[in-house]
Structures are given as C-alpha cells and as structure tokens.
Amino acid sequence: MGKKRPVLIGIAGGSGSGKTSVTHAIHDVFKEHSVVVIEQDYYYKDQSHLEFEQRLETNYDHPDAFDTDLLIKDIKRLLNREAIEKPVYDYALHTRSKETIHIDPQDVIILEGILVLSDPSLRDLMDIKLFVDTDADLRIIRRILRDINERGRSMDSVIEQYLSVVRPMHNQFIEPTKRYADIIIPEGGQNEVAIDLMVTKIKTILESDSIV
C-alpha cells in the first residue's frame, strides 16, 4: 500500500478577511508534519500577450483573472504526490514571471485565496472547505493599511478601487461561495476555537487508514 493521499484544505474569504492568519495558524500546528501552502494569487493568468496599458485594466477580483485550469492540474499532481513548478506573478509588470518555485508533495496542502471555492472541480478535490467571514468595515481597514504600507498606494486610490471593483466583486463572486464551506470562521485567525476544531479534524484525517 502506497502513501496516503495528502489532505487538501481550501481557505477562502474576502480581501482582508484574515485568510492568511488562519493559514498560518494551521501551518504552525502541522510544521512537524509536511505541509505546503499554495496561494491562488500565484495563479493569475499570463498576460504577456497584452500591451502594458491593457494589463493595467485587469480586474484581479474576478474569477476570469485566474488560470484555474493550471491550478487544478497542479493540485492534482500534488495529490498524486508529484512535484510541481508553482508559477510566480510579477505585480509590477502585471503578468506572469518567467521564474517558478519548485514545490515537493506534502502530507497537508493548504490552498488559500479569495475564490478557491468558486470552481466546482477545485472544490471536489478538497477534504475541508473553509470560509473566513469578516465584517466589511474591518476588511477595508485592513486593505487600506496593507496597500498603503506595503504597496505604496494612496488612500484615495485604495478606496476608489474598493468601491468600484473590490466591493462589487466580493458581493457578486466571493460572498456566494460561503454556501460551499464546511466551516465558516468569523474573525479569522483570532478565532481560536474554530482553529482548534480545524486542527482536530485535520489530525483525524491524517491518522485515518481510510485514505490511501
């Protein structure tokens, strides 16, 4: 009998919801095991065929911005315990970088991103589906702080983008995927009870003999 199939956990939620803190909390518990995080953000489509001005108009909060076919292909390879070359996205050039990151198969795979629950083929691969649910006012405050401090944006530009793109895309595409979640986690990584429940469930799957 070969090695058990890895456990695949999908963690979705809006921008600034706390997905990353939930991911880190789970990752920290299983660092004694082998665990890898795959960020959906790395799988934005290659736009090298477009002029730079056209690339600037990309709506990164729309499902069509992602190369979901490649993401599914790579996740399936990891589930088959095969290595992948994870793509890298160049935000300065608004297209895929020529570089890749070598990822070896691990026992626990965490797939994290705003729309990881939107595609049925991707959902079907997951053992556990999470949605991190955080109030809109907290999410915009976190996004403003992040984009100003880490990405050099002005407050006006962040707010304008939030109102014109992020908020409508969240309501249209991200929020509805909550219905597919096995667990909805309010308040993200601060919710220690939900994290503990998650960890217990993952340990149960890892220790189960039913997955081969």
Q: What is the per-residue pLDDT across 118-129, written as a single tens digit (0 to 9) for each? A: 999 999 999 999
2 versus 31: the higher-pLDDT residue is 31
Query: At residue 71, does pLDDT exceed 90?
Result: yes
Q: How far apart are CA 91 and CA 191, in angstroms?
A: 31
Beta bridge partner(s), residue 13: 132
Angle at 61 between CA 89 and CA 94, to 5 degrees: 30
The CATH superfamily of 7-207 is P-loop containing nucleotide triphosphate hydrolases (3.40.50.300)
Q: What is the mean pLDDT of residues 194-210?
A: 82
Q: What is the pTM of this model?
A: 0.89
User: 17 and 175 in contact (C-beta within 8 Å)?
Assistant: no
Q: For a pLDDT cut of 90, what percent of the chain falls above it?
A: 55
Residue 81 phi/psi, 5-degree rounding, is 60, 40
Q: Which residue has the tokens 């790395």?
A: 42
